[in-house]
Every structure is written in C-alpha cells, then in structure tokens.
Structure 1
C-alpha cells in the first residue's frame, strides 16, 4: 500500500531533506538546529535565550545545548543582560555570520537542484502549497 497521507509525506520530506542537508551544515561545524539558531540571529543579531526557545518551539534544555555548541564553535557569544542575572543575550559573531552565509548558499543549491527535478508548473505550486499548509497550521 502506497501511503499518501500528509503526516507520512511530511515525515519523509523532513528525514530525506535533513539527510541531504546535514553534510553541508556539518562542513561549517553546525547542526541543522544550529543553522536555524543562526538564521534567527541573522534576522535579529541579539536575542535572549528564551526568545530563541519560543521562536524554535523546542525544549529549553535542547536550545541551551544548541547555543552551547554554537558558542564553543565561535559562532555566537552569550552575555548576561544587565540588571537581570538570570537572562542571557545570544549574539551572532562575524564567524557565525560567515558560516551562516556559506551554509545558506549551499542549502539553496540543494533546494534548487530538488526543485529543478520537478516539472516547471509544479515548482511554485509545491512551494506555495507547503507555505499555505504551514500558515493554516500556524493559525490554528
């Protein structure tokens, strides 16, 4: 039986795309989640740790491990927010920005290759359909 339910299809896409992208992010000393953190920091160069937790919708301890890895690699710095001993701000470093740019270009090439394998009329429809599904689920 060929499965076509959305959950299964999304899971297959997530797993297979991750498998294809992982070597690319590893070249820069990143994990896939580390790349996501850097992406958030490119958009807003300084964020509180809890802002990252909320934006990623992940467990706090997992996000702290990701930030620890990024800090050890020199991609981010973490500083105490003045006036609040419990809060820490995460800032992307110039090296983190370079790693993000290189990784973004390499991931875009992977995406371009995948889209190129689709018929022209299916490329925009696929991207737009996925965007709309994310919007619908985010609105619920």
Structure 2
C-alpha cells in the first residue's frame, strides 16, 4: 500500500528514474542534485526539531510546518514517524505578468534599446489621508439625509 503521508506528486518523483525526473518541469523541484537530498515541506505535530542532525536538516516555520532537507533514501522512513503528518515537495511558481507587460508596453523597452531593467529605481507612496477625509465627509453628507451627486 502506498504511503498515505506522502503527496502523490512526491511519490511519483521518487518512483521514476532520475533521467525522467530531469525531463519534467515539476518532478525535479526540491531535489538538490549535488547532495542527493530533497528539500520538502512537512506538516508535523510535537517536536520535529529533535530530528535535526548532520544528515537531516530541519527549519521550523509556523503553524506546525517545517522545511526538511533529507536524503532520498530516508524519506519513507522519515514519513512513518509519529510527529510527521504529511510530506510534500515544493512547487515551481509561474508568474502571469504577460498581459500586464503587454498592456503597459514594457516589452518594447526591455527587449531592445534602451534595455530598461528597473535596476536602481526607487518608488515611494505618500498617502496624505485626503481620500479618507473625502470618504468620511461623503458618509456624513449621506447621514445628514442628502443624496450625493453622481460624477461621470
């Protein structure tokens, strides 16, 4: 029977050959090739810090989660521990900024001269609070029994 504590995608990544894992955009995420270890997200209860050693790295987060760096051959044994509730691999993030970049005409200036990158740009937001005052005064105007005018 398959290990119920292991995420299905992690189980698949562990079961395929390394050559197949390298071909996939998702299966290799979290695998550190130089050390042959996996960086995994673990939901736990109790004291998972006691498992910290030269072989297993534990970085406790909040709300019963930790990032565990562990050799591939120890993952199944590790997941059987009472403290471990669930083990999953990290996911690759994809940012969908394409439409925003197209709408704001970013591509022409980043892909050719002047090759703008945004490096060295400082941004500041100064909020005078005037908007709050306007909204507050509108609310008071309505409370006084008046209808606000519609602006077009």
Q: TM-score if structure 1 supplies the norm length?
A: 0.24
Q: TM-score if structure 2 supplies the norm length?
A: 0.22
The structure with more strand, counted as a fraction of residues:
2
The structure with more helix, counted as a fraction of residues:
1
